[in-house]
Amino acid sequence: DAGVTQSPTHLIKTRGQQVTLRCSPKSGHDTVSWYQQALGQGPQFIFQYYEEEERQRGNFPDRFSGHQFPNYSSELNVNALLLGDSALYLCASSLGAWFQFFGPGTRLTVL
């Protein structure tokens, strides 16, 4: 049983570019949450997707958007990248609002 998977592992972009990160949830899970973890900090909640809709959102600008597909996989899109967007992006999946399992993360570096 595969756990939560994320791609790519690492990504380097320049300011102003756009990026898409991908997440496949654990088998049987229907909910995907995204978190941003700056270096040396705890993860911060970005948003959560359930039934292909954004169900809850943290304190992040509209440059951060997402999508959930019918197979429950999800994408996180960030537009107009800033240096401050450099972070580890974690995806977590769950069955509804039940306990979350995390993926290994995508390390985004913005130059």
Partner 1 sequence: AQTVTQSQPEMSVQEAETVTLSCTYDTSESDYYLFWYKQPPSRQMILVIRQEAYKQQNATENRFSVNFQKAAKSFSLKISDSQLGDAAMYFCAYRNSDVGTSYGKLTFGQGTILTVHP
CA-nearest of 61, 56, 54, 51 to 30 is 51
- Cβ proximity of 32 and 92 under 8 Å: yes
Tokens of 48: 């959560």
> Which residue type is seen at 92?
A
Task: Considering only the stretches 21-29, 53-61, 63-71, 74-82, report the one whose residues sit in contact with partner 1 under the rule CB under 8 A.
Answer: 53-61
Task: Considering only the stretches 20-28, 70-78, 79-87, 101-109, report the one whose residues sit in contact with partner 1 under the rule CB under 8 A.
Answer: 101-109
Interface with partner 1 (CB under 8 A), residue total: 29
DSSP state of 104: -
CA–CA distance, 57 with 64 (Å, rounded to integer): 10
- Give the nearer residue to partner 1 in terms of CB position, either 17 or 89: 89
Among 13, 50, 60, 86, binds partner 1 (CB under 8 A): 50
DSSP state of 85: G
**Site residues for partner 1, window 8-47 (CB under 8 A)?**
31, 33, 35, 40-45
Give me the residues that bind partner 1 (CB under 8 A), please.
31, 33, 35, 40-45, 48, 50, 55-56, 58, 88, 90, 92, 94, 96-105, 107
